[in-house]
Amino acid sequence: MNIKFFQDFFLWCTIINSAALIFWMLMFSLGSSWIYKIHSRWFKISLEEFHSIHYKGMAFYKLGIFLFNLAPYIALLIID
């Protein structure tokens, strides 16, 4: 395995995870009330808590993409 393999790997990890985050954001933006209705049947949760959990989850996921996918990709580009 060479550096090019890992560059491609981290590039595709970044693209796939970013697409998943965008999908999550779109589903939450367009269908928030429907998703809340389903989850509120399973869990006792207020609307404010529901929004807070999703906002924090998206922020954590985005930080993970930057730290574990994008940063290694950029580092590999620099050393190549």
pLDDT digits (tens, 9 = 90+) for 35-71: 999 999 999 999 999 999 999 999 999 999 999 999 9
Average per-residue pLDDT for the chain: 96
Count structural domains, the chain.
1
Count of CA atoms in the C-beta half-sphere (13 A) of 76: 16
At residue 80, the pLDDT reads: 84
Range of the domain at 44: 3-79
In angstroms, the CA 75 to CA 80 distance is 9
Q: Report yes or no on whether pTM surpasses 0.85.
A: yes
Residues 6+ apart with CB under 8 A from 72: 6, 10
